[in-house]
């Protein structure tokens, strides 16, 4: 029984990794659509979200089947519940990719502006956090998960700096307010992706170490927006 | 065994209702803090979030204990997993109350402006959705849950109207950009609360009717921001 259960848990772990990969691709496309003013790519992201949604539903069903069939306890039960929660987080990250893609579409219809901040660099940081949070589950590595939580502060700071720059830009060019609000929304959505990565990492720390860190960290680092 | 299990499930249902009540109070205080420019009330909300966080952690532990002890299957298992998911949503709604409270504190330090839109009216709509989503779980009422999903569109439209007004106000008064961005953030956070209520309602529909509506609805109604 236990061998079968662990085979099932391994399979679910692999499925979660696949979902994380799909979600990351959606985000990459959405950011590229913003940077290259590419509405077709934005459409692709929006269409691709159905696949993510379907994936989440199936993975949840599979988790429930394993729960009902094998009735795991202790660490195995906790692992399954963590997979369910992370599955949910990843699906919502997929929604954020769609939000960003919609901003890309709107921005592509507005006069181009020169961006004085590094959205792509912010995305790289967030991407790294998201990858590392999911990898920390797969490897049961609480140290790596802790590192993800620490890095959330840098992303929050970057988002705050962008907001301040946007405020200045709007004061100087009030006629461009719509454009700058779209750009601000892109950075805010990226920051929310980092929050989800932090949630995932906090769940992994609890899974591995058995004590709850998630709220103090979230309280400290929460998005200010 | 089944009698004990159902007694436990009833208890969890009651606990979830209490958490929803606490979260609603936090939101009410946060909105009042914005409208009355009351930084002390905003501090109360921030301090009160620890109680919500603690509540969520305890409820999750209780769900896991019931899972391990009674090993429920079929509808009971699905109910427990739904409680776990809604618990998570409610905790994040608590975080949104803190976000709003922080905006209230910032706004109270800025020169007062006359708001040309009805934030309190928006909050009443969102509050109704949140209550009805949790009640629909407690009563197993998929029709009520469906109604919540439908009402999300009106909140999204209201949020969009506020954004357009804010854009105009900023064009007219670029020196007030910081104030208007804070107000916009309040309406955005309220709109995210409505999204969580919709998520909860979609989970209830699935629990009761056994088919998945959540993604088409979320896809259609998602926050545009």
* Residues A177, B163: C-beta atoms closer than 8 Å: no
- Residue numbers in chain B where pLDDT is lower than 70: 1, 211-225
pLDDT at position B210 is 80
Please tell me which residue, A115 or B81, carries the higher pLDDT value: B81
All residues of chain A having their beta carbon less than 8 Å from the beta carbon of residue B175 are 171
At residue B117, the pLDDT reads 87
CA gap A63, B221 in Å, rounded: 27
Neighbours of A154 (CB within 10 A): 14
Mind listing the pLDDT tens digit for each residue in A164-212? 999 999 999 999 999 999 999 999 999 999 999 999 999 999 999 986 6
Q: Where are the domains of chain A?
A: 2-221
**Residue A207, SS3 per DSSP:** helix
Q: Is-contact B94 B29, C-beta < 8 A?
A: no
What percentage of chain A exceeds 70 in pLDDT? 93
A-chain residues within 8 Å CB-CB of B64? 77-78, 81
How near does any CA of chain A get to the CA of B76, in Å?
10
CATH number 1.20.58.220 is the correct assignment for the domain at A2-221: yes
Interface of A with B (CB under 8 A): 49-50, 53-54, 56-57, 60, 64, 67-68, 71, 73-74, 77-78, 81, 84-85, 88, 95, 98-99, 102, 163, 167, 170-171, 174-175, 177-178, 181, 185, 188, 212, 214-215, 218-219, 222-225
Q: Tokens for A189, please give them.
A: 């959505």
Q: Are B87 and B63 in contact (CB under 8 A)?
A: yes
Closest CA to A97 of A36, A31, A4: A31
Evaluate whether A113 touches A179 at the Cβ level (below 8 Å). Answer: yes
Min CA distance, A114 vs chain B (Å)? 20
Q: Give dist(CA B96, CA B26) in Å, integer.
A: 9
What is the predicted pLDDT for the residue at B115? 86
The predicted pLDDT at position A215 comes to: 59
Residues 6 or more apart in contact with residue B23 via CB below 8 angstroms: B52, B90, B91, B93, B94, B97, B130
Instruction: Give the separation between CA A32 and CA A70, rounded to whole angstroms.
Output: 44
Would the CB atoms of B224 and A98 count as touching at under 8 Å?
no
In this prediction, residue A217 has a pLDDT band, given cuts at 50, 70 and 90, of: very low
| CA–CA separation, B67 and B80 (whole Å) | 8
Q: Is residue B217 packed enough to be buried (19+ CB in 10 Å), middle (13-18) or exposed (0-12)? A: buried
Q: How far lies A85's CA from each of A53, A56, A78, A91, in Å? A: 14, 11, 11, 10
Does pLDDT of A222 surpass 70? no
User: Could you tell me if A64 and B77 are in contact, meaning their C-beta atoms sit under 8 angstroms apart?
Assistant: yes
Do the chains contact at A99 and B225, CB–CB below 8 Å?
yes
């Amino acid at each position: 029984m236990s061998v079968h259960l662990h085979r099932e848990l391994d399979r679910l772990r692999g499925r979660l990794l696949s979902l994380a990969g799909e979600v990351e691709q959606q985000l990459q496309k959405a950011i590229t659509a913003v940077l290259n003013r590419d509405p077709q790519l934005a459409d692709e992201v929006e269409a691709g979200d159905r696949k993510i949604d379907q994936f989440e539903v199936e993975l949840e069903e599979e988790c429930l089947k394993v729960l009902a069939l094998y009735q795991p306890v202790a660490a195995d039960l906790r692992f399954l519940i963590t997979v369910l929660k992370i599955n949910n987080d990843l699906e919502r990250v997929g929604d954020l990719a769609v939000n960003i893609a919609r901003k890309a579409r709107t921005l592509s219809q507005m006069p181009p502006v020169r961006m004085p901040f590094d959205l792509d660099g912010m995305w790289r940081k967030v991407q790294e956090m998201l990858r590392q949070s999911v990898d920390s589950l797969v490897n049961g590595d609480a140290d790596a998960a802790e590192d993800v939580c620490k890095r959330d502060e840098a992303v929050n700071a970057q988002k705050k700096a962008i907001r301040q720059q946007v405020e200045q830009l709007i004061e100087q060019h009030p006629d461009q307010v719509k454009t700058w609000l779209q750009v601000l929304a892109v950075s805010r959505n990226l920051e929310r992706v980092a929050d989800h990565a932090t949630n995932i990492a906090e769940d992994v720390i609890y899974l591995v170490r058995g004590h709850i860190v998630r709220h103090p960290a979230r309280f400290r680092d929460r998005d200010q927006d």
